[in-house]
Chains A and B, each alone.
Chain A
Amino acid sequence: EAGVAQSPRYKIIEKRQSVAFWCNPISGHATLYWYQQILGQGPKLLIQFQNNGVVDDSQLPKDRFSAERLKGVDSTLKIQPAKLEDSAVYLCASRGQGAGTEAFFGQGTRLTVV
């Protein structure tokens, strides 16, 4: 079974530029999460999708971050414009339907804003 795929693995941009990350969850997984992990900290939830609907985006900085999940499958996370403090690893995870299912993570995208 293929895992969660993320691209790119690494990205370096200048502040005020825009950037987009892509995630392909495990086939059939209804729930998709985007997390931001700053060095030395635990992952912070940015947005949670159930199929193509948003369940929780309370910690998403909506003035600069946006996310969508196309047809309830792939998802993109965009930052525009980027700030220095956005430098972090962006992790995507997916989870199947039903009670108590296991969440699986992609390898993440390491973003450096200079």
Chain B
Amino acid sequence: KQEVTQIPAALSVPEGENLVLNCSFTDSAIYNLQWFRQDPGKGLTSLLLIQSSQREQTSGRLNASLDKSSGRSTLYIAASQPGDSATYLCAGGKTGANNLFFGTGTRLTVIP
């Protein structure tokens, strides 16, 4: 069974700082990896998708990377803003199974 760990569980930073969120899988045979954002009381919004043939994806101030050899992914947020405050979740699945297992999440607070 795939176990997904996210570190840190919670993070508080002043506005404008760059930050890194971490995600690791017990089974490194990741088919693809997706980062999501969840606002309180809301569903999940997809941020970035990294396919197994890729190593990273960028969207605006967000950059996600995937190291398949170690089963680790990072989400880099540049120049953080108060609107970035949310819980960030990573999810991935094994080759061929098309499944999607979630991490425990990192709750981010950006202080104005």
User: Which residues of chain A have a CB within 8 Å of any CB of chain B?
Assistant: 31, 33, 35, 41-45, 48, 50, 55-56, 58, 91, 93, 95, 99-100, 102-108, 110
Chain B residues whose C-beta falls within 8 Å of the C-beta of A35 in the assembled complex: 102
* Tally of contacts, chain A with chain B, CB under 8 A: 66
The answer to whether A107 touches B42 (Cβ under 8 A) is yes
Task: Identify whether the interface residues of A are mostly helix, strand, loop, or mixed.
Answer: strand
Residue of A nearest to B101 (CB): A45
Tally B residues with Cβ within 8 Å of A.
28
Chain A residues whose C-beta falls within 8 Å of the C-beta of B53 in the assembled complex: 100
A109 to B106, CA, bound (A): 22
Q: Assuming the A-B contacts A100-B32, A100-B52, are A43 and B89 also in contact, with contact meaning beta carbons closer than 8 angstroms in the complex? A: yes
Q: Assuming the A-B contacts A91-B44, A107-B42, A108-B43, are A55 and B34 also in contact, with contact meaning beta carbons closer than 8 angstroms in the complex? A: no
